[in-house]
Amino acid sequence: MNRTTTPVVAGHYRLSEDAYVRLGQLRDELRLLETLTRPRAAADDGPDATLALAPRALAQCFGTLAARVDACLDEATSLSARTGQPRGEGAH
């Protein structure tokens, strides 16, 4: 018995320009956090190296970033791979 399978096509999503800009800003903030935590000298990368960050401040930073990503994802409009229209539209 020979079975053929339909290839899986990833869904498409549309973002508003505002959401796209906000995602770019989030990317930039994450890169800034990376830069701030990157070792500056060989001693900073050793097994005994520490980074003085208050857990509450770090948790607040990640919580804020996560909330902003959620807001952008909420604005994403799912598109049908076949019609290129938002899901639920154009289907009769």
Question: Could you report the per-residue pLDDT of 26-77, keeping only the tens digit for each?
Answer: 999 999 988 888 888 888 888 888 888 888 988 998 999 999 989 888 888 7
pTM of the shown model:
0.61
The answer to whether position 92 is within a domain reads no
**Residue 25: which domain range?**
13-34+53-85
User: What total number of domains does the chain contain?
Assistant: 1
Q: What is the pLDDT of residue 12?
A: 77
The answer to whether position 17 is within a domain reads yes
**Per-residue b/e over 45-67, b at no fewer than 16 CB within 10 Å?**
eeeeeeeeeeeeeeeeeeeeeee
The answer to whether position 47 is within a domain reads no
CB 16 within 8 A of CB 75: yes
Q: Which residue has the higher pLDDT, 91 or 3?
A: 3
The answer to whether position 46 is within a domain reads no
Residue 51 in 3-state DSSP?
coil
Q: Which of 4-8, 12-16, 69-73 has the highest mean pLDDT?
A: 69-73
